[in-house]
Amino acid sequence: MTILSTLQEISRNPDTLCITPKRSMPVLSWIETASRSDPECIAPGEGTDLLTMYSERVDLAGHTGPKPVRGTGLARLNGFAAFCFERPNRTIIAGGHSLFFREFFRTFLCSAATSSVEKRARKVKMANGGVVGFTLVRAPRKDAPSEFEYKIRPASLVQLHREAW
């Protein structure tokens, strides 16, 4: 699992700010720590020691701390898109805020997208727990061939779990 600062919500509201210092492990909630140490909460041999899992399986290299004061959501959208092509994996599973993903679709889903799913993706924030899949492609920019532009293939956008919009 990789923690990415580029996936931080696009808003300046206080509840959208990251409180974990850069490259630091998130603090487990009291529920996560209590459920592991309280024998009444789990049966012997069951449950997950989240502290051990975090320390062994979480990559913090992409966690640069709070979003920059003068940063923009567009820079983070492009940063996440670039991250997707820096990985050897062809499949990326990302969790984040509905506003981030609505802006991701507005930015990278072609405005000529015509299906009802494509139109909703550009206009409406995703429902909590909604899961979608799509194919992201990149191509060199015509005005700056050493840089890339990113697009979502419109026909690839599908709802995978729940009514996403």
Domain that holds residue 67: 5-24+60-161
Mean pLDDT of the chain: 86
Q: Is residue 12 part of a domain?
A: yes
Distance of CA 125 to the CA centre of its chain: 14
DSSP 8-state assignment for residue 139? E
pLDDT at residue 74 above 90? yes
Q: Is residue 40 part of a domain?
A: no
pLDDT at 111: 78
**DSSP bridge pairs for 109:** 152
Each residue's pLDDT tens digit, 51-64: 778 888 899 999 99
**Does residue 67 lie in a domain region?**
yes
**Count: domains in the chain:** 1
Please name every residue paired with 59 in a beta bridge, in sequence order, or none if there are none.
2
**Is 38 part of any domain?**
no
Instruction: Tell me the two tokens of residue 90.
Output: 């062809």
One-character DSSP codes across 74-97 = HHHHHHHHHHHHHSS-S-------
For residue 102, what is the enclosing H or E element? helix 98-108
Please check whether residue 90 lies inside any domain of the structure: yes
SS3 for 69-80, per residue? Answer: CCCCHHHHHHHH
Whether 125 is in a domain gets the answer: yes
Q: Which of 127, 117, 125 is closest to 152 using CA atoms?
A: 117
Work out the percent of the chain whose per-residue pLDDT is above 70. Answer: 91
42 inside domain: no
Whether 77 has a pLDDT exceeding 60, the answer reads yes
Residues 88, 105: Cα–Cα separation, whole Å: 23
Residue 84 lies in a domain: yes
Residue 38 has what pLDDT? 57
How does residue 11 score in pLDDT terms, banded at 50, 70 and 90? confident
- Interatomic CA distance for residues 91 and 135, integer angstroms: 9
The pLDDT value given to residue 52: 79
